[in-house]
Amino acid sequence: MNQIINNLKGDRWIWLVVILLSLVSLLSVYSAIGSLAYKRGVGAESILMKHLAIIIGGLLLMYISHKLDYRYYAGISKLLMIITIPLLLYTLVFGARLNEASRWIAIPGTGLSFQTSDMAKLALITYLARMLSRKQENIKDVKNSFIPIMGSVCLVFILIALANLSTALMLFGVSILLLIIGRISIKQIAIVCMGGAVLLAGVVLLGPRRHTYMSRIKTYMHPELADPDKSFQADHAKIAIASGGFFGKGPGKSTEVNYLPEAYSDEIYAIIVEEYGMFGGIVLVGIYLFLLYRCIKIVNRAPKAFGALLAAGLSFSLTIQAFANMAVAVGLGPVTGVPLPFVSMGGTSMLFTSIAFGIILSVSRDIDEPKGAEQKEVSSGNKVIVGEIA
């Protein structure tokens, strides 16, 4: 056990947060999958074991990605972008459709599906960190710096937004934060925002899911006039939260889990609050805030611009997604399809979240393991040779 712990490098508090979120995920998912197990005609334990296998697989990916020097992700980001763009296009045209959206690609022979937007988030953030760190000396050069950066952000945004607007908006927001940190001028950031606004208007008003988006906005703005079928999920999420009280009904005692269609995924926070009360909900918010705090410390201590931008982008992405999911559950936003990072049941979302944590830990590991500053004393007769360890 001590050997395993000694092999875990980087910020130990982040490792603790990940383990804690994994335990929360197992408890809450087990409570929320009763209806899903009934529909599939299987035992809840079999679904839980599959979820546990994904968590273990995610932890393994997290361990592998944290052992890799974060500088290698600069080169990997180019490859990811080259792969991601065609995959997003393929998903829009040939992807598996669910709720009028093409977000998944079926993996032949496995019975599993792959959500390409999860890869796109990781690809764009790492690519932006690379571009911004390498273009610092001529960051205001419109042709060589600004246009490639703006083009990558807007292209990924539109390809994701056509099927998954909420994820695209969060990724766009993270991209703007990275542009600010990367010293892009206010004028250029304003141009990117205007371009994003035009694309957003086009997706909402003219896109293939325009009726769904407009319906969700109207339901959120005027719930008293909404069709009960349209507000069903939001209404029962509010009922779950309101019935939880301060300390909740207790583990496994949720009743709204029988009504919420995505209780184990999009609305898992509502189930957590129903079972563990406002106290449990506040503790979970505190965990994500603490995670953001530890990541900001890594950003401040990172010696290289690429490491700082990489840790900032990934940590902002994870925490913004977490708070977006919780905000929807408590009625502060329209219904979306955003899972709670490392808590909601999911396949590719859990795996790519694990990789993101691993990359952040890789940056942290580089801070904790100084290179080039250590000195080595070697006795040689009456001489003492002082050498530098590379």
Most confident of 226-230, 342-346, 382-386: 342-346
- With cut-offs at 50, 70 and 90, classify the pLDDT of residue 4: low
What pLDDT digit, counting tens, does each position of 186-205 carry?
Answer: 888 888 889 889 988 888 88
Length, in residues, of the chain? 390
pLDDT digits (tens, 9 = 90+) for 269-312: 999 999 999 999 999 999 999 999 999 999 998 888 899 999 99
- The two tokens of residue 281 are 């909900």
Question: Alpha-carbon distance 232 to 93, whole Å?
Answer: 30
Residue 36 C-beta-side C-alpha neighbours within 13 Å: 18
State the average pLDDT over residues 322-349. Answer: 86
The ranges assigned to domains in the chain are 2-388
Q: What digits encode the pLDDT tens for the residues 129-188?
A: 998 888 776 766 777 777 888 888 889 999 888 888 888 999 999 999 998 888 888 888
pLDDT mean over 365-377: 55
230: its two tokens? 């349209």
pLDDT in tens, 28-82: 999 888 888 888 888 888 888 999 999 999 999 999 999 898 999 988 988 999 9
Residue 373: pLDDT band by 50, 70, 90 thresholds?
Answer: very low
pLDDT for 389 beyond 50: no
CA distance 181 to 51: 37
Whether 1 shows a pLDDT value over 60: the answer reads no
Residue 315 has pLDDT above 80, yes or no: yes
Total-model pTM: 0.86
Q: What's the token pair of residue 195?
A: 């371009």
- The whole-chain average pLDDT of the chain stands at 83
pLDDT of 98 reads 61
| Tokens (6 digits) for 124 | 């764009």
Question: Per-residue confidence at 102, pLDDT binned at 50, 70, 90?
Answer: low
Mean pLDDT, to the nearest integer, of 210-228? 77
Q: Output 145 or 84, whichever has higher pLDDT.
A: 84
